[in-house]
Amino acid sequence: MNKSNFKGSVILNPVPVVLIASKNKAGKTNIFTVAWTGTICTKPPMLSISVRPERLSYEYIKETMEFTVNIPHYGIVRETDFCGVKSGRNINKIDALGFTMKDSDNISVPYIDECPINIECKVKEIIPLGSHDLILAEVLSSHINETLIDEKGKIHFEKANLINYCHGEYYPMSKSAIGKFGFSIAKNKARIKEYSKYEKNLKNFIKHNN
C-alpha cells in the first residue's frame, strides 16, 4: 500500500459533530458547532471539547463554566453547519434557526430540543494548547429521546440519524453495524451464531460501496 507523507494538519477523521450551547452571566445564550470532542473518562463521566479562545462561545463558557452538548441528526445538518460559520456576535442563531431551547436539570444553560441527545456539562479545567484550548467537563445529566431506548434500556444510536464530520464534509451514520465489542473472540456457539449477522452486514456493505 503506497502512502504519502501528509504534513501540517491533524487528519484524525471522521469525528462526531455537535452543537454546543453556552450562556453568559447576562443571560444571553449562543450556539456553535464543534467537531473536536470526545469522551475522556467514565468515573466520573467526563468529555472534552477543543475551542478557539476568540470564539464568542468560549467567552460564555469561561464566564459560567457550563455548557450543553447537543447531538444533531441529519435533518438539521444545514442548521448545524450554519452554527459553525455564523458568529453569535452578529446574529442570534437561536432565533434565526427557530431552535426550541429547554431548561436543563442541573445547569443554567439550556439544551436544544430538536437534537435527539443532549448532555449537561460542568467545566472542570481549561488547558491552553495553542490555536485551541482544551475544555474538560464533567457530565451531570443526559437527555435522550425515548424513541431511541428499547425495553431493555439499550440506546439505539443508529436510529437517531446522527451525522459525522470528515475533512470538511458531513456524512450520515450507518444504520447497520458491522461488528460489536468482543465479537472477534467469541467462542460460545450461541454467540457466534448471533454475531454472524455482522459478517453479513459487512459483506453487504462492501458489495454496495465498492
Tell me the whole-structure pTM to 2 decimals.
0.93
Q: What is the pLDDT of residue 184?
A: 86
pLDDT band for 10, please (50, 70, 90 cuts). confident
| Residue the block writes with cell 472542570 | 124
CA distances from 105 to 26, 44, 95, 139 (A): 20, 18, 23, 12
| Residue the block writes with cell 450543553 | 68
Burial class of residue 93, CB neighbours in 10 A (0-12, 13-18, 19+): buried
The domain made up of 15-151 has a fold known as Pnp Oxidase; Chain A (2.30.110)
Domain edges within the chain: 15-151, 176-209
Q: 167 and 156 in contact (C-beta within 8 Å)?
A: no
The mean pLDDT value of the chain amounts to 94
Mean predicted confidence (pLDDT) in 148-169: 96
CA angle 93, 10, 67 (to 5 degrees): 35
Q: Would the pLDDT of 197 be above 90?
A: no
Q: Would the pLDDT of 73 be above 80?
A: yes
